[in-house]
Structure 1
Amino acid sequence: MTSKSGDVIFLLYLLFAMFKSTFGKNSVFEIDKDATSKGYPRDSLSNFTEFARNYGYKAEEHTVITEDGYILSVFRIPKGKNCRGRIRQPPVLLMHGLLQSSDSWLDAGPSAGLAFLISDACYDLWVGNVRGTYYGRRNVRLNPDTDAQFWNFDTHDMGKLDVPAIIDYMLNETGSSKLNYVGFSQGARIFYIMCSETSGYCDKIIVFINLAPAARLKYTSSMPILLVIPFFVLTEPLLSSPRELEVFQKGGVIQKAASFLCKDNILAGTVCRVGLTLYNSYDPGSILTQTIRVLFGHFPAGTSFRNLAFYGQNVVSGKFQKYDYGPSKNVEVYGTVQPPLYNLNRTNIPVVLIYGENDVLVDSKDVQWLSTQLPNLIESYQVRRLAWTHLDNCYSQYTNVTIFPKIHEYLQKYSKDGSV
């Protein structure tokens, strides 16, 4: 390591340590719930089951335990409030993106949130969560507040361990032999990892519907992301305590400050909207101000520092490959100097890609590249709204006319009517 690069790493680590010391989870920056909760939208203070019930939907909470002991809350809407027919089979699993949770599928409300729309179309809907979110912050052996090992994970572990555990649980509970899968961004990424790294689980899915799949990230152009990436990549090896290794958690300074500021209608429609635009690109009028007020009650939802470093490595390398430990440890772990690529050819089930041309996080060129790597691609669909952004997939008021018809088309094609 050169002296110059060492100085950069030290400076980044110093800045990070100062930030965590001043604004970390246990800082004096607290929101007094009794004093301030009146200004918050009810939905922003609701968990998944409460949020669903706010609009007359019956939701269940289920507990899934992974092979390595992570305890994940998974939610089910067995029948949508507006479903007037028989429930279609098989069940559907809907998976969220990076720094999100299952709540992101409700935040746009019953007219646009995909959890509402899919369940109303008479599908037995299950909504998953991964380790590190506030719905996945438990382990049978490890304490996330005191055991650094709890945070030693990235999307590789989510794909290899979290998704298979959820699939097995769903199939056992429903008696179905297979299911359909809808994954957004990271939710699609971990599916490809599952197919690459496990045996048999890909075959338990009938159709895999991708929304802005975050596999290869070579052309990511979000400036805030590109500016922060070197920090995570360079600093991650220097961290050791749980307080440092957990990032962007619900209840942390960023989420609490955003939730507090964005509950105000004027600030939500101006300052908070600009913040989303800088990160996500601009689609005028797509995300309602009310949705912005609600979503920051649930976003960011938390992950590990290592996971963000892993994303950063993939952006820098321009490859969809495993975690890079450095040449010597790569040889020890993988038997090669360079980390192996994930095997996309093993995702041999029917795949649908849905993407937007204005997505600066998962660029259309990366989606087009992905389409050339898949052995059973049945459609690559560009959203007709030219301004469609990454987060529009979750939060846009227009999901019911932009992406849901295509999702419904393929869920219906690969489903059949079952019992009520």
Structure 2
Amino acid sequence: MPSKRLNTFHVLFISLAVVAVGYVIRTPWLPIRRETKTSMGYLEDSLMNFTELTGKYGYISEEHHVITDDGYILTMFRIAKAKNCHKRKRSPPVLLMHGLLQSSDSWIDSGPNAGLAYLISDACYDLWLGNVRGNYYSRGHVHLNPDKDAEYWNFYIEEIGTYDVPAMIDYVLDYTGFKKLNYIGFSQGTGTFLVMCSERPEYCEKAQLLISLAPASRQFHTSSQIYRMLTQMFDRMESALSIYGVHEVFSKGEFSQEFVGFFCHLSVATQRLCETFLNLFEQVDSSHSGSITNQTTTVLFGHFPAGTSLHNMAWYGQSMTATRFRKFNHGKKKNLVVYGSEQPAAYNLSAMTVPVLCIYGNNDGLVDVKDVEWLMSKLPNVLESVKVEDPLWTHLDMTYSQYTVYTIFPKISEYLLKYTSA
């Protein structure tokens, strides 16, 4: 046990050091130019954006831009033509939402035989993929500059659920002419949908099915000590870091992301070390070796982490100690002003009336089984809650595993068919 704690401390220390250096050292050679990376032998897939990467494998994608009610400019992608769909698309459309520090790229990083975006579009669904504010696809605003205006980064899942998800739903429905869609959310992608239903319940009526993959709400039982300590550090130090101009964290193109992307492509040995780091970060009971291939690990670190706000990471730190799925805790004095009580208001989970299919893993170090079961007990319309049969299935397997087509996609396909017309 002392050895395990010591290893955790070392990894945490190195992680924080890399993050700190990323803010202290801002050299003119970051981000590294794409041409330079190509000459250094980076995997081509790790350097491509969504439309380029899907195009490489025979899929035609469109880029769309959405403006939220509070002025954020978001990028969405639509797979307009799938390689293996040769008939009319099913209806209604499907909106697929990524997790914390991810982007739409996370659904294609594992390749056309495993990435959920490929599998769903090949099944002839009209697939749309969102990108929430603050990731590298959605850093725009009608009048704020994310590189200069701290106000841009004053958001957490509250704003994502209140503004981003509704804006994307409206855009998809307006564009396609349907009244409802089916929604698939991974981790934060489910949490923000729940926020939307709590704060803007009229938008809950615009979805006819929620497929929830490893849903993140409260994270009271999270077993990953690295994740817990890192997010709680951000919570404790948010004010101090903000004074020094740190408002955005883990952004693509900054030192931490570029360092990991460089390290993971060097050799098979470093690829394996990066895979080991993913397992260590989740701090799972048993590693799921081979589930995320070495190539996928290299590709994903070309797109991950995708960036978010310091404030959002601080909220995740608070979720580790909360027994409810609640709003940001500003402290008793400010809570009285903001919420009218000394404690943060809880999100109204009973407002989430959309039928729910939940899929989760037994070996998830970030979203623990106990927290998933707690959440499902609070939702009024759970159709089925499914634990993946593979006992080693982890949190990140949901987006990056090579076994997706055999493990979670059959159940996803079953429910999409139930809520779809040909």
Normalised to the residue count of structure 2, the TM-score between the two structures is 0.92
CA distance in 1, matches of 2:238, 2:176: 41
Over 3 Å counting, the alpha-carbon distance change for 1:301 and 1:341 in structure 2 is same
Q: How does 1:111-122 map to 2 (within 5 A)?
A: 111-122=113-124
Provide runs of 4+ in structure 1 moved above 6 Å: 14-17
Q: CA deviation at 1:27?
A: 6.5
Match of 1:31 in 2: 32
Q: CA deviation at 1:318?
A: 3.2
- Once the two structures are superposed, residues 287-312 of structure 1 have per-residue CA deviations (whole angstroms, 9 ceiling, x without a partner) of 01110110011000000000000011
Q: CA deviation at 1:80?
A: 1.6
- More displaced stretch, 215-224 vs 232-241: 232-241
2:101 matches 1:99 = yes
Match of 1:342 in 2: 347
Q: CA deviation at 1:324?
A: 0.6
Q: How does 1:161-172 map to 2 (within 5 A)?
A: 161-172=163-174
Q: CA deviation at 1:268?
A: 4.3
Contact 1:67 1:161 in 2 (8 A): yes
Give the letter for the 1:119 counterpart: S
- Once the two structures are superposed, residues 58-105 of structure 1 have per-residue CA deviations (whole angstroms, 9 ceiling, x without a partner) of 000000000111001100013321013321100000000000000000
CA distance in 1, matches of 2:37, 2:343: 52
Over 3 Å counting, the alpha-carbon distance change for 1:339 and 1:81 in structure 2 is same
- Out of 213, 216, 228, the position equivalent to 1:214 is 216
SS at 1:158's partner residue? Answer: helix
Give the letter for the 2:149 counterpart: D
SS at 1:286's partner residue? Answer: coil
Over 3 Å counting, the alpha-carbon distance change for 1:226 and 1:167 in structure 2 is same
Over 3 Å counting, the alpha-carbon distance change for 1:34 and 1:51 in structure 2 is closer
Match of 2:192 in 1: 190
Q: How does 1:227-376 map to 2 (within 5 A)?
A: 227-240=229-242, 243-280=245-282, 281=284, 282-376=287-381
Contact 1:357 1:387 in 2 (8 A): yes
SS at 2:76's partner residue? Answer: strand
Give the letter for the 2:400 counterpart: Y
Match of 1:19 in 2: 21
CA distance in 2, matches of 1:118, 1:274: 29
Match of 1:60 in 2: 62
Contact 1:261 1:267 in 2 (8 A): no
Q: How does 1:118-157 map to 2 (within 5 A)?
A: 118-157=120-159
Contact 1:145 1:243 in 2 (8 A): no
SS at 1:200's partner residue? Answer: helix
Contact 2:110 2:400 in 1 (8 A): yes
Match of 1:411 in 2: 416
Match of 1:5 in 2: none
How many residue pairs get aligned? The number is 403
Give the letter for the 2:279 counterpart: T
2:95 matches 1:90 = no
CA distance in 2, matches of 1:32, 1:141: 28
2:81 matches 1:79 = yes
- Once the two structures are superposed, residues 246-303 of structure 1 have per-residue CA deviations (whole angstroms, 9 ceiling, x without a partner) of 1000001111011111123414432111111111232111001110110011000000
Q: CA deviation at 1:17?
A: 9.8
- Once the two structures are superposed, residues 10-30 of structure 1 have per-residue CA deviations (whole angstroms, 9 ceiling, x without a partner) of xxxx9899635534x546666
Give the letter for the 1:40 counterpart: Y
Over 3 Å counting, the alpha-carbon distance change for 1:17 and 1:215 in structure 2 is closer
Q: CA deviation at 1:37?
A: 1.9
Over 3 Å counting, the alpha-carbon distance change for 1:21 and 1:88 in structure 2 is closer
Q: CA deviation at 1:228?
A: 1.4
Contact 2:196 2:203 in 1 (8 A): yes
Contact 1:87 1:122 in 2 (8 A): yes
Q: CA deviation at 1:317?
A: 2.1
SS at 2:205's partner residue? Answer: helix
CA distance in 1, matches of 2:114, 2:323: 33
- Once the two structures are superposed, residues 356-400 of structure 1 have per-residue CA deviations (whole angstroms, 9 ceiling, x without a partner) of 000010001111111111111000000011100000000000000
- Once the two structures are superposed, residues 158-213 of structure 1 have per-residue CA deviations (whole angstroms, 9 ceiling, x without a partner) of 00000000000000000011000000000000000000000310010010000000
CA distance in 1, matches of 2:309, 2:195: 18
CA distance in 2, matches of 1:246, 1:267: 31
- More displaced stretch, 100-109 vs 269-278: 269-278
SS at 1:189's partner residue? Answer: helix
Give the letter for the 1:218 counterpart: F
Give the letter for the 1:226 counterpart: R
Unpaired runs of 5+ in structure 2?
1-15
Q: CA deviation at 1:330?
A: 0.5
Normalised to the residue count of structure 1, the TM-score between the two structures is 0.93
2:405 matches 1:400 = yes
Identity %: 53
CA distance in 1, matches of 2:23, 2:44: 32
Contact 2:18 2:256 in 1 (8 A): no
SS at 1:56's partner residue? Answer: coil
Unpaired runs of 5+ in structure 1?
1-13
- Once the two structures are superposed, residues 339-371 of structure 1 have per-residue CA deviations (whole angstroms, 9 ceiling, x without a partner) of 011111000110011000000100011111111
Q: CA deviation at 1:243?
A: 4.6
SS at 1:78's partner residue? Answer: strand
